[in-house]
Structure 1
């Protein structure tokens, strides 16, 4: 049910977007935002700074950029084409009170085009125990 867009049909002319230098870009950004580039830096939840612009200078010296997927040391992944021919799947993480309800839900979603399942088991199962194990009596049925 996924559609792969045909990017060859885009009406795109690179000359519509002339190259500008960093200083010109910086001037326009600061004028439009009323802030300096330093004020535009944001932080992720992990407290990692995210700059408003990255250039090729920011990745200079990264040795792994020349590596290819499917070839040791596998920094780019284990398969040469990775997800080029098989797009990522979008899945809903779900589970219901009974196996029958869950099964019906999963089957409906797959019939409607969902590409895979992410099943929400109870906490006991996630922890690797059978639901009748005495160590997880209070965890059975909880997610």
Structure 2
């Protein structure tokens, strides 16, 4: 016999499963990003490579963008989250918020930001 109580139980179970699946998707997206990725920063007008960039995503939601090399290296620190195929960043110093779409295939990360596509290769983890 179908009762309102049985229907409510089914709705509650379905809602719980949906929430669990949504959370694990976001966590698996974030886990896939964790690590260091190397690429080249591109000029927004010409698309030419300007300088080396390493993106470092941590498990605790921090992103460090290391631009340049040696004494000329500059690091920008941000917080990040991933949601629905997008990386949402908030720069720590300026509080500027940005969104980029991204895709990971094997060890290649492709980020599209303001119509410009950048590709990064995952760096192998150093053994301690």
Q: TM (normalized to structure 2)?
A: 0.18
Instruction: Name which structure has the greater RCO, CA cutoff 8 Å, separation 6+.
Output: 2
Greater helix fraction, Structure 1 or Structure 2: 1
* TM-score where L is the length of structure 1: 0.17
Pick the structure with greater CA Rg.
1
